[in-house]
Amino acid sequence: MGILLGRQTRVLVQGLTGREGSFHAQQMIAYGTKVVAGVTPGKGGGTHLEVPIFDTVAGAVAATGAEASCIFVPAAFAGDAICEAAEAGVPLIVCITEGIPTADMIRACAYVKARGARLVGPNCPGLLTVGEAKMGIIPPQIAKPGVVGMVSRSGTLTYEAADLLSRAGLGLTTIVGIGGDPVLGTRFADVLPLFEADPATRAIVLIGEIGGTDEEAAAALVPQLSKPVVGFVGGRSAPEGKRMGHAGAIVSGNLGTAASKVAALEAVGVAVPLTLAEIPGCVAKALG
């Protein structure tokens, strides 16, 4: 069992019958994820990928005991889909959808929090418990089982770092892609304690990028951890004033810059290499 997801976790997919939901659900099932239901309003009573389809999340949960939801719903409806999952009592919600209006996410995050659920995303690659299960779009072939837990704002950098760690023989336990939007359900500071409590994880890799203050907030937690943390900050060479790809990559004054993030992490003993290729060596050194 990973820090959030295991091979026995009963997963439903909101938007299962759509193009993206169908494609990625197939990959999830092939990897071993226990997909027990799909939700597409108006298509309840049928099946897709040999999975029963329901009109509502509440109906799917009542019939299958689903305990996690992976959302592949168009942006205009994704905020409501998140709220529907939380209302149905789903404790773990992973939203892959990008481009959700900020106002919708402010409402959805508050709704999820009020109901005691956990939201990962949106605009994220999701979760991968290596060798067990996945929710989302992380390609499992990049990660071999090992001892490193990874949490990241960037999907592409996640894939590259996971491949490098696997090739170096270190491998991974769980990968958590939290996403790069300004309004997120889960942040670095929420994930670090989960890795600290996981006996299979011996080291943590944190991959950030310019914009926001999540990395600085995470740095404040590092002294409380017993496990070594290696960091990386994408966007060090980004031109000043240029809008970058992620909506969350917004720099305000002296906060959110690559320099401020690197300084905060290094101040608490986190190694922050200049390139992804240096991450495995830093992890190996930290592990002794």
Per-residue pLDDT reduced to its tens digit, 163-176: 999 999 999 999 99
pTM for this prediction: 0.94
Domains of the chain in sequence order: 10-120 (3.40.50.720), 139-287 (3.40.50.261)
pLDDT in tens, 24-40: 999 999 999 999 999 99
Best CA proximity match to 283, nearest among 189, 139, 172 = 172
Best CA proximity match to 84, nearest among 124, 122, 106, 55 = 55
Angle ∠(50,53,56) on CA atoms, nearest 5: 160
| Active site positions, annotated | 246
Angle ∠(145,151,156) on CA atoms, nearest 5: 85
Classify residue 116 as exposed, middle or buried by CB count within 10 Å of its CB (0-12, 13-18, 19+): exposed
pLDDT in tens, 72-94: 999 999 999 999 999 999 999 99
Contact 135, 69 (CB under 8 A): no
Contact 191, 216 (CB under 8 A): no
Q: How far apart are the first and last CA of the chain?
A: 26
Best CA proximity match to 142, nearest among 179, 106, 171 = 171
pLDDT in tens, 226-247: 999 999 998 766 555 554 555 4
Task: Tell me the Cα Rg of the chain.
Answer: 18
